[in-house]
Structure 1
């Protein structure tokens, strides 16, 4: 999925949320109209005075109101973000392959639309009451204020992600709103104020947007005031978008210790179901595990691997593959299965943690076949089916090539009574044979967990020494 398509999908989602609550559309339009109806008449006595050309009070007042609309449209973005944090939406999005920047841009683009629509309506109505519209300059003004909306929206989203409390966000937004608006000259030009107030206004990025807006509304496009306005507002937007993206990345990597989340990941083969669990403390690696053909990822051997990985600080993900979600018993095409698995792992690996993947039986084969493609640091192959079932008289086949194609370190755990055979070890492949176990590997999950913990402790970047274990499992 392309970045542009991701941004479009998030934009449409946010826009649909807004359309389902039309009260925001009504208030976003009525507030500036009330300023025109109730405040602008108070300025008529100032016409012809300082900063107000004769008979052109609205030419000075309307650009300031447009800036106020842009500011208000953007600064409301943080409240829905906190709701998404509290309701688990952010946690679910964490395991999607979507760009965090696209996620932020979807909200920002919605807010730009929420500024542009009432902004155009206000300009049209103001023109009926004496506002001298220079449409070329106003078109450039809309672009400038779209940047201001983007800066405010991204800042509000970042504040929501970092503060995480509606009360804290409200305190910050209301605390900065009054000085920012008053020191920008939105309602009255600051040339009417004392010199210290005009000097202080130059520290406010919104001041430059207001000055440029009034110049553009007057039809003056190629001026130094407009250039500085675009420079300051564009820099503020870029900085806010960077901060917002970083905030999304942090919020969608680290979750509270012990958080368990069930998510759905869309793949080319259909949806996969994944249960993700965060460790206590900062995660050290990601362990993605799956089932065998016709099975589920909650078998004793897979859960033993999960628990061993969690003990070493892993984020664990138990994957039900798309064919099982559909109710199928057999995986079908290996190429299609591998492609879907790679998409799942890519979605889960966005945090940049070292990856260990594994599974039992058919899941072990998938993990080996795709290890090189997804950049796995290691593979855990439970009950690797070396020889497929065959009828009497048919020549034997081997899947040994799949095991050797992993291109990384592999731990194989097979029972000594497994009818599908036991692979041979090599320099990259450690083989542990469990006495008395069949292909099910269901009798002694503690031995599986011990062997996995020891092996994981030897992987670079995961463990420098093996943890204490309860028993010895003889390697083959």
Structure 2
């Protein structure tokens, strides 16, 4: 009599999933491209953001022809003086309101879902801020092209450098806007209170609309602490082709300092946020 030998099949364990090595720069790129998709799908939003600056060019610009002569600026050079200002204004208006988009994502829960993804929080803030370079560049190019038939002259090299400076400035202002949106997420109305409180003093003290030389002494002193003032002066020099002017160097310092401060504040805010 023979007995059958029972054999137990070997137990196999599933292979461990390969470790995924994430790149911080890759995460930044993913976030930036995600934020750019709505802009690509609806490019009209870029043009719509130019309505207010173009209104200033159409209605406020002609008024400068008679007023700036007292400051030594001839009517023929008004656009050389005013168009670079409008480019900085476009950057200020466009990037200072981007936090409202983040507020909408907080309301819908999209922001919370992003926070629990493997993407680092710092890369999410930096990616959002870098996205601002694309619409800013497009808007600046549109403004320059629109004003060329009216006599505005843009130095090619200086124009490219000027737009690059605006992009750096926009990264900083956009980061601060996102940080503000996160900081006041439980009081959404406070975002617009703070944004408007800082927007117009920065705009007026920068000398965008009227020459500061004819203003009171206290205003000229206060303008020295406004980073936009240095960027405005630099943009005027760059578009005029005066690439070696001291104002250009100070403009890069102001734009870079704004970007660094904005990114540091923005990253710290999003990393420390709990919801």
Aligned-partner Cα distance in 2 for 1:123–1:76: 23
* Residue 244 of structure 1, aligned match among 253, 257, 266: 266
Aligned match of 1:184 in 189, 206, 209?
206
Does residue 175 of structure 1 match 2:202?
no
Report the Cα distance in structure 1 between the residues aligned to 2:147 and 2:67, rounded to whole angstroms: 18
1:106 to 127, 131, 137: 127
Within 5 Å, give how 1:262-341 maps onto structure 2.
none
Q: Decide whether the 8 Å contact of 2:202 with 2:228 is kept in 1.
A: yes
Q: Which residue pairs with 1:159 in the alignment?
A: 180
| Corresponding residue for residue 89 of structure 1 | 110
Aligned twin of 1:222? 244
Asked if the contact 1:51–1:192 (Cα under 8 Å) also holds between the matched residues in 2, the reply is no
Deviating above 4 A after TM superposition, structure 1's stretches of 4 or more consecutive aligned residues are 19-23
Q: 1:52 aligns with which of 73, 86, 104?
A: 73
Contact (CA 8 Å) 1:46, 1:52: kept in 2 or not?
A: no
SS in 2 for 1:39: helix
2:157 is equivalent to residue 136 of structure 1: yes
In the alignment, the residues of structure 2 paired with residue 98 and residue 234 of structure 1 have an alpha-carbon distance, to the nearest angstrom, of 26
Residues 319-398 of structure 1 mapped to structure 2, 5 A cutoff: none
Is 1:43 equivalent to 2:59 in the alignment?
Answer: no
Q: Deviations over 1:386-415 (max 9, x none)?
A: xxxxxxxxxxxxxxxxxxxxxxxxxxxxxx
| 1:42-81 → structure 2 map (5 Å cutoff) | 42-46=63-67, 48-53=69-74, 55-81=76-102
Give the TM-score normalised by structure 2: 0.86
Computed over aligned residues only, the root mean square deviation of the Cα atoms, in angstroms, reads: 1.8
Aligned-residue offset at 1:40: 1.0
**TM-score (norm. length: structure 1):** 0.51
Superposed displacement of residue 17, structure 1: 2.6
- Aligned pairs, how many? 253
2:227 corresponds to: 205
Aligned-partner Cα distance in 2 for 1:138–1:22 = 23
Contact 1:51/1:189 (CA < 8 Å) preserved in 2?
Answer: no
Residue aligning to 2:253: 231
* Greater radius of gyration (CA): 1
Q: Is the 8 A contact 2:47 2:139 kept in 1?
A: no
Q: 1:187 to 1:75 in 2, by over 3 A?
A: same
Question: Equivalent of 2:50, from 29, 37, 42?
Answer: 29
Contact 1:77–1:107 (CA<8 Å) still a contact in 2?
A: no
Q: Is the 8 A contact 2:175 2:263 kept in 1?
A: yes
Following superposition, the deviation at residue 117 of structure 1 comes to 0.7
Does the 8 A contact of 2:68 with 2:211 survive in 1?
A: no
How far apart, CA to CA, are the structure 2 residues paired with 1:146 and 1:51?
A: 31
Structure 1: tracts of 5 or more residues without a match: 256-476
Q: Structure 2 regions of 5+ residues with no counterpart? A: 1-21
Please tell me whether the aligned partners of residues 77 and 157 of structure 1 are also in contact (alpha carbons under 8 angstroms). Answer: yes
Q: Which moved more, 1:21-30 or 1:77-86?
A: 21-30
- Structure with greater strand percent: 1
Given that 2:71 and 2:211 are in contact with CA atoms closer than 8 Å, whether structure 1 keeps it comes out as no
Q: Deviations over 1:62-105 (max 9, x none)?
A: 01000001111211121121222233223222222213232112
* Structure 1 CA distance for aligned equivalents of residues 116 and 146 of structure 2: 47
SS at match of 2:243: coil
| Helix, strand or coil at the partner of 1:132 | coil
Distance (Å, rounded) in 2 between the aligned partners of 1:168 and 1:194: 32
